Each structure stands twice: as C-alpha cells, then as structure tokens.
Amino acid sequence: MKVLITREESQAKKTAKLLEREGFVPVLFPVIRFEPVDFDISVLERADAVVFTSQNGVRFLFQKIEPSFLKGKTVVATGEKTKKALEGLGFEKVLVPEVYTGKGVGEMLVKDGSFHGKRVVFVRPVEGVDEGLKAVEGYVEAEALPVYRTVENYPPNRGEVEKLLKGGQIGFVIFTSPSTFRGFVKNFPENWRELLSRTEVCVIGSTTKKAVEKEGVKPSVVPEKFTVEALIKAIRQRVS
C-alpha cells in the first residue's frame, strides 16, 4: 500500500524508511522546505531557559552558535526527537513535557514552580501557533526567537502524485504539521478536496488536526502520541 509523505525532503526520507520497514510503499512529496533567517543572539544571552519547539530549531540555531553558548541555561525540548538532537550536541539534561506540544511545555514550566519570573526563550519557526508562549503568559518573561521559516515547495512529481490520488492508489496521506497541509493545498489549488476524498488523511498533533478540520477534512488517523512512529503504528493497525 502506498503512503504519501508531505514533509520536508530530508525528514520525508527518514519517514520513508520507517514505512518501508512496516511493508508500506512510501511516496515522497515534500510540499514544504525550510530556510534560515537572521536572529539576534543577545536574546539568548538574557535567557534563563531555552525551549526548542522542533528538531529544525536545533538545526538552524546551532548553525550560527556553538552549544556552549547555552552553558548554564535550562534546556527544554518539545518532544523526544528534539531531545535526542540536543543530546547529540552534548546537552546532558534536557527537560521534556509529558504531552509533546507547546502547550505541554508551558504547563510543565508552570507546574515546576522554579521558572516563575524567569526569562524563557522559545526557539521556533517564523510562522506557527504560539501555544507555549500563551501557556506561560503572566508566569514567565517569555520571548519567541524565530531561527527559520517554512516556505512552500512544488515537487517535480506533482503530476504523478495527482494521477495516483485520482486513481485511488494512495492509501494514506501524512500531514505532520499545518504547513504540510497548506503546502498540499497550494500544490493542488483546484482539486485538493477531491484528491483527499480518495484517500485517508493521517495527522500528527492537535494543531495539525485542527488545521485540517477547519477546512472540512476529517482525519482518519490521529495517534495519541505525537510522533511519526506512533502514527505509522496507527496506520498499520488500521489496515490489519
């Protein structure tokens, strides 16, 4: 069974390997790509804690600074993958919330009690929902630090993918973020609803779920744990 992956290309390739292990046939269709943006490192100098909302934030921040720049600061990751990326750079103690969302991070910081009044910087993309910032509003001195932007991408296999979807040959389409869903819509502005009606939509996270539902699309697969591994497991269970 074919599964369409809409993630950024390097991430899509990793997801493809996981799908292949489960016997699926991945179809790469990266509808987004990432670009670095300039940022002021003095924001980090003033921080008591630094929150990384994604692996991309880790990647783009440390293209400009050394990990040692954050010495003595509390480091927080939104999820396990982001935590592993930080540990790979030498960070030994990385806090992770029980729920892998920005809101989960905010609730963890408030519940901890030791962050009250502290300066907390959220390393993130230019676009996106500030769930973490909203969750700590009035409790900490929070600030966003965008280090990259997400832009639309138009893959060369668009025509082939359209034919596969029209023919009902794609069993599942994976959206890992609201931006991947928007990118898909941009690639098929005239008939994206028709194409998605011929497959099953899979999403990761409550934010992505809300984004697709807002446009009248009901996801078939939404794993409780917001990871690619959990999503693929849920897809496997659905076809078993």
Does position 163 have pLDDT exceeding 90, yes or no? Answer: yes
99 pLDDT band, cuts 50/70/90, is confident
Lowest-confidence segment of 28-42, 136-150, 168-182 by average pLDDT: 136-150
User: What tokens were used for 235?
Assistant: 């897809």
Does position 123 have pLDDT exceeding 90, yes or no? Answer: yes
The stretch 165-177 carries a mean pLDDT of 97
**pLDDT recorded at residue 104:** 87
- The CATH 3.40.50.10090 domain(s) of the chain lie at 2-31+153-239, 35-150
Does position 129 have pLDDT exceeding 70, yes or no? Answer: no
Distance CA 192, CA 162 (A): 9
Distance CA 13, CA 15 (A): 5
Phi, psi of 51 (to 5 degrees): -105, 125
Phi, psi of 117 (to 5 degrees): 80, -5
Topology adopted by domain 2-31+153-239: Rossmann fold (3.40.50)
Does position 98 have pLDDT exceeding 90, yes or no? Answer: no
Q: In what order do the strands lie in the sheet with 25-28?
A: 25-28, 2-5, 170-175, 200-203
* Type of residue found at 224: E
The CATH class that applies to domain 35-150 reads alpha beta
| Strand partners for 50 | 75, 121
**pLDDT recorded at residue 136:** 85
What are the DSSP E strand ranges found in the chain? 2-5, 25-28, 32-36, 49-52, 74-77, 94-95, 119-125, 141-152, 170-175, 200-203
Does position 4 have pLDDT exceeding 70, yes or no? Answer: yes
